[in-house]
Amino acid sequence: MNSSDYTIDLFRPEDGEGVAELFREVYGEEYPVKIVYNPEQLSIGVERGDYVPFVARTKGNRIVGFSSLYHSAPYKGIYEVGLSLVAPDYRNTPIFGLLSRQIIKVAPTTPGLEVLFLEAVCNHTITQKAGIMFKLIDTTIEIDLMPAEAYENEQSASGRVSTLNMFRTFVHKPHIVYVPEVYRECIRYIYDGFDDSRTILPSTEPLPADGLTKMSTEIFDFAQLARVAIHEVGANFEAAFDKEEKHINDRHCQVIQVWLNLSWPWVGEIISILRARGFFLGGILPSWFGEDGLLMQKVLSKPNWEGINLYTDRAKHILSFIRDEWEENAKR
């Protein structure tokens, strides 16, 4: 099998059925981004610019590879590169690398794209190596993000799978971030190796006395995952968050993630509240809200630490901060 058997090309609406078949072949019906199974919705998303996908297409018009730029963060200036997969019988071809190169080539010319983001799985290091090749930088580790069942067809995971988040800045926006003392060392380490500048100030202010807390939650039932974005904070934060966490627990989630805005001088107070409830650091989410975000996370079972494979020393160092805090929580 050689490169003349397939071509790398922009997605066309008529490719939608083939993309759905490819995802079913690899993941069954369990892939968490459900739009890939709906050709009509995917085509609408492409037309709107929410997705910029590429395919590997055989001469017989079978879709044997797929990858895309797409929106997944609150701030629309961030595009994630992902939804990447290759048909099992084409794994020993350059398709993954060719798709990745095409994505990186079009990223700088994609309207509105300021930051590129990759969620690289940690049950192997192939995707992480691709991220490094294309100058993405490790900033965050999402512990136990996906269940092993998502990789059942591939038999590539023995437990829940963590991901390493990697970012690359195309439009630089230096700004102030506020950091509590408890995370100063780790966060400074992450920023010291990043490709955009930040001014780090201590977070010492109390929560705002006025206003109400506003948050939004997305629950992925198959992954037993909840993601909570905190949009605004008031004095009622503790009560509002406790109510939201109870709702999440009623849905039997195993992993809860919280996105916080580091431009808030009072973010340290929110972090203290979350740490008291068993949350621990995940890392930095550059430009996540237009300004940088912070990931806090909670895992209800013992994390699958042994299943985390990391490529760079930088990623391993970030993991050491994360695991040390989790172990401190476990002793309480």
150 in the same domain as 96: yes
- Asked whether residue 155 carries a pLDDT value surpassing 60, the answer given is no
Q: What is the mean pLDDT of the chain?
A: 93
Instruction: Point out the least confidently predicted range of 1-5, 38-42, 324-328.
Output: 1-5
Task: Provide the domain count of the chain.
Answer: 2
101 in the same domain as 227: no
pLDDT value of position 1: 57
The whole-angstrom separation of Cα 219 and Cα 244 is 12
Of the candidates 316, 263, 267, 320, the residue with the CA atom closest to the CA atom of residue 296: 267
142 in the same domain as 199: no
Residues near 330 by beta carbon (within 8 Å), at least 6 away in sequence: none
236 in the same domain as 185: yes
Q: Which segments of 145-298 does DSSP mark as H helices, in order?
A: 184-192, 237-250, 267-275
- Are 199 and 175 a contacting pair, CB within 8 Å? yes
- Are 143 and 122 a contacting pair, CB within 8 Å? no
Residue 78 sits at the vertex; the CA angle it makes with 76 and 82, to the nearest 5 degrees, is: 120
How many secondary structure helices (H) and strands (E) does the chain include?
A: 8, 14
What phi-psi label fits residue 179: left (phi over 0), alpha (psi between -120 and 50 degrees) or beta?
Answer: beta
- Asked whether residue 3 carries a pLDDT value surpassing 70, the answer given is no
List, for residues 173-183, the tens digit of each pLDDT value: 999 999 999 99
pLDDT value of position 331: 79
CATH code: domain of residue 101: 3.40.630.30
Highest mean pLDDT among 3-17, 28-42, 309-323: 309-323
For residue 80, what are the domain limits? 3-169
CA distances from 127 to 62, 70, 119, 184, 203 (A): 24, 17, 9, 29, 35
Per the structure block, which two tokens stand in for 312?
């760079």
pLDDT grade for 150, boundaries at 50, 70 and 90:
low
List, for residues 72-92, the tens digit of each pLDDT value: 999 999 999 999 899 999 988
184 in the same domain as 148: no
Q: Which of 149, 169, 189 is the last residue of a domain?
A: 169
CATH code: domain of residue 196: 3.40.630
Helix axes 39-48, 16-27, angle to 10 degrees: 120
The residues with which 53 forms a beta bridge, in sequence order, are 68
List, for residues 234-254, the tens digit of each pLDDT value: 999 999 999 999 999 999 999
Per the structure block, which two tokens stand in for 216?
């939004």
3-class DSSP assignment, residue 293? strand
List, for residues 311-323, the tens digit of each pLDDT value: 999 999 999 999 9
314 in the same domain as 273: yes
Q: Which of 169, 188, 214 is the last residue of a domain?
A: 169
Residues near 89 by beta carbon (within 8 Å), at least 6 away in sequence: 64
Per the structure block, which two tokens stand in for 302?
């013992």
43 in the same domain as 95: yes
The residues with which 117 forms a beta bridge, in sequence order, are 80, 167
The whole-angstrom separation of Cα 121 and Cα 130 is 12
Using CB atoms within 10 A of its CB, is residue 175 exposed (0-12), middle (13-18) or buried (19+)? middle
- Say which residue, 2 or 262, is predicted with more confidence: 262
User: What's the average model confidence in pLDDT over 38-57?
Assistant: 94
List, for residues 259-275, the tens digit of each pLDDT value: 999 999 999 999 999 99
- Asked whether residue 7 carries a pLDDT value surpassing 80, the answer given is yes
3-class DSSP assignment, residue 310? coil
The residues with which 181 forms a beta bridge, in sequence order, are none
The whole-angstrom separation of Cα 97 and Cα 11 is 17
105 in the same domain as 22: yes
- Asked whether residue 156 carries a pLDDT value surpassing 60, the answer given is no
288 in the same domain as 244: yes
List, for residues 197-217, the tens digit of each pLDDT value: 999 999 999 999 988 999 999
- Asked whether residue 2 carries a pLDDT value surpassing 70, the answer given is no
pLDDT value of position 113: 95
183 in the same domain as 129: no
The whole-angstrom separation of Cα 92 and Cα 96 is 10
190 in the same domain as 142: no
Per the structure block, which two tokens stand in for 288?
């996540």
List, for residues 295-307, the tens digit of each pLDDT value: 999 999 999 999 9
Q: Which of 169, 195, 213 is the last residue of a domain?
A: 169
179 in the same domain as 165: no
Beta strands in 132-279 (DSSP E): 137-146, 161-169, 175-179, 198-202, 214-220, 225-232, 255-261
Per the structure block, which two tokens stand in for 69?
């730029």
